[in-house]
């Protein structure tokens, strides 16, 4: 017998993006369910370092992405405060700043180019000579060519964030289900992997699980990360152009329980994210290897070698884990947020390296779409309609999908540049306020 349940929205994917959007919708009064074939945290969330670094991760030719990441970073303090109050759980959010190091002259030349762009946009970033860098982080390597200090950068623990979201979502009346058939039976439940769509004419009206349960909803939100382009329960023309990009990370732990650095430290090839409990996340490789999630000796070697070049003390740390996950990439590196190609489908996927950072902005945007409102201006650049793609290349193999990108997508107008500068200044002011607050108790 097929069981039928009705919701306002069903979220397919239980990573930080899916859980954040579902919690935001539930807080607004929506009846929501989150479905995932694996227990959260899974997918890219499980291996994410949790950097909230819009200034340091700035790239040339991506003004829309910078605008989105700055806007979402500004939302984070309020987002985690509300989440921790609703769940009673910590999120591991820390505001410690970041130090981007140039290890040789070539890296220094490139880092200065990036710093010039940061300054032109009014972002909070300062070039420091080696002596000033060592004053901030005494454990740095003895020989390097300077660095950029970005005091407004922060970090969050994605696994702690996931635990808080699960509790908050349940308290808000949302449902979270996970597990394939074998996993679900082992814990006495039913299989919740989505295996089919329910259609009313051309409209997606819900999904069908492996257990035969029918879950109907006004909207189905696809938040399945790197697997979003391969969901067979959607028609080919509705599958978004998302591809997997493999990333490996290493997790280390200090033997005395103290983190080896206070700030995020990064070079051209690696980043180090300290946790208050003495752990250090070292990431991350970027590999076009399809859906391969094997941890390789070469990947671990590369990460440890580059980490040692930055912070020699890592050689004495305990190696506690190494993992690989899949980031959801898109043709233009912007996420896909908003109405899908068929009625009833909403997309919240394709966040690539910025899924944790963009969670608050994505959650607000999806809540607006589910409420029948236009996509907020802060997320307008991520509207899926900007991409037109051919049905036979929508992510069903490991090739990059064949797509057409709006020619105006990368153009930065004077008004846009001024807006980015204003956002950068606001983030700098928030960073200074946070630093003053942190200095108070000391």
Please report whether residue 347 resides in a domain. Answer: yes
pLDDT, one tens digit per residue, over 181-205 is 565 555 444 578 899 999 999 999 9
Residue whose C-alpha is closest to residue 133's, from 104, 100, 110, 156? 100
Do 254 and 324 have their domain in common?
yes
- What DSSP line would sit under 268-282, residue for residue? SS-EEEE-TTSEEEE
Number of H helices, E strands in the chain: 10, 20
Do 170 and 211 have their domain in common?
yes
Do 134 and 257 have their domain in common?
yes
Cα 108 off chain centre by: 28
CATH number at residue 198: 3.50.50.60
How much is the pTM?
0.88
CB atoms within 10 A of CB 344: 21
Do 226 and 294 have their domain in common?
no
Q: Considering its fold, how many domains does the chain have in total?
A: 2
Do 317 and 366 have their domain in common?
no
Do 400 and 272 have their domain in common?
no
Do 234 and 199 have their domain in common?
yes
Q: Which two tokens stand for residue 211?
A: 């257990």
Do 102 and 226 have their domain in common?
no
* Domain of 260, in residue numbers: 95-152+244-329
Domain end among 285, 314, 329: 329
Return the H-helix or E-strand segment holding 11. strand 4-12
Do 163 and 130 have their domain in common?
no
Please report whether residue 264 resides in a domain. Answer: yes
Do 188 and 168 have their domain in common?
yes
Domain end among 329, 349, 380: 329
Are 249 and 322 spatial neighbours (Cβ–Cβ below 8 Å)? yes
Confidence grade of residue 211 (pLDDT, cut at 50, 70, 90) = confident
Do 192 and 254 have their domain in common?
no
Phi and psi at residue 359, in whole multiples of 5°? Answer: -60, -50
pLDDT, one tens digit per residue, over 253-273 is 999 999 999 999 999 999 999
Cα separation of 272 and 140, whole Å? 12
pLDDT, one tens digit per residue, over 270-308 is 999 999 999 999 999 999 999 999 999 999 999 999 999
Are 274 and 96 spatial neighbours (Cβ–Cβ below 8 Å)? yes
Please report whether residue 432 resides in a domain. Answer: no
Do 304 and 347 have their domain in common?
no
CATH number at residue 108: 3.30.9.10
Q: Is the peptide bond before 284 cis (omega within 30 degrees of 0)?
A: yes
- What DSSP line would sit under 407-437, residue for residue? TTTT---HHHHHHHHHHHHHHHHHHHHHHHH
pLDDT, one tens digit per residue, over 377-432 is 999 999 999 986 544 434 444 444 444 445 444 444 445 555 555 655 555 565 55
Angle between helices 63-87 and 359-370 (to 10 degrees): 80
Please report whether residue 434 resides in a domain. Answer: no
Cα 308 off chain centre by: 26
Domain end among 300, 329, 358: 329
């Amino acid at each position: 017998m097929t069981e039928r349940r009705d919701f306002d929205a069903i979220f397919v994917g239980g990573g930080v993006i899916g859980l954040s959007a579902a919690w935001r919708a539930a807080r607004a009064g929506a009846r929501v369910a989150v479905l995932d074939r694996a227990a959260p945290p899974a997918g890219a969330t499980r291996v994410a370092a949790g950097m909230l670094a819009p200034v340091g991760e700035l790239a040339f030719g991506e003004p829309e992405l910078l605008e989105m990441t700055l806007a979402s970073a500004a939302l984070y303090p309020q987002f985690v405060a509300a989440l921790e109050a609703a769940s009673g759980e910590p999120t591991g959010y820390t505001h410690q700043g970041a130090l981007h190091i140039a290890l040789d002259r070539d890296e220094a030349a490139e880092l200065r180019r990036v710093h010039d762009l940061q300054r032109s946009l009014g972002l909070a970033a300062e070039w420091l000579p080696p002596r000033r860098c060592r004053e901030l982080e005494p454990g740095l390597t003895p020989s390097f060519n300077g660095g950029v200090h970005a005091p407004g950068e922060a970090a969050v623990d994605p696994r702690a964030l996931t635990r808080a979201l699960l509790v908050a979502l349940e308290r808000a009346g949302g449902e979270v289900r996970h597990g394939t058939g074998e996993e679900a039976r082992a814990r006495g439940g039913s299989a919740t992997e989505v295996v089919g769509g329910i259609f009313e004419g051309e409209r997606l009206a819900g999904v069908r699980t492996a257990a035969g349960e029918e879950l109907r909803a006004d909207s189905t939100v696809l938040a399945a990360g790197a697997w979003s382009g391969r969901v067979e329960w959607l028609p080919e023309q509705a599958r978004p152009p998302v591809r997997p990009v493999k990333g490996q990370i290493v997790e280390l732990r200090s033997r005395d329980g103290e983190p080896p650095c206070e700030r995020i430290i990064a070079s051209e090839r690696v980043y180090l994210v300290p946790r208050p409990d003495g752990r250090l996340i070292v990431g991350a490789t970027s590999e076009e290897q399809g859906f391969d999630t094997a941890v390789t000796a070469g990947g671990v070697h590369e990460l440890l070698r580059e980490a040692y070049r930055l912070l020699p003390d890592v050689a004495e740390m305990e190696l506690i884990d190494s993992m690989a996950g899949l980031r959801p990439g898109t043709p233009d590196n912007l996420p896909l947020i908003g109405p899908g190609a068929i009625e009833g489908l909403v997309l919240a996927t394709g966040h690539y390296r910025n899924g944790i950072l963009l969670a608050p902005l994505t959650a607000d945007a999806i809540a607006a779409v589910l409420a029948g409102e236009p996509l907020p201006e802060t997320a307008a650049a991520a509207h899926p309609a900007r991409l037109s793609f051919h049905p036979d290349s929508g992510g069903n193999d490991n090739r990059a999908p064949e797509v057409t990108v709006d020619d105006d997508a990368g153009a930065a107008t004077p008004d846009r540049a001024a807006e980015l500068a204003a956002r950068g200044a606001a983030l700098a002011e928030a960073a200074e306020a946070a630093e003053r607050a942190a200095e108070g108790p000391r």
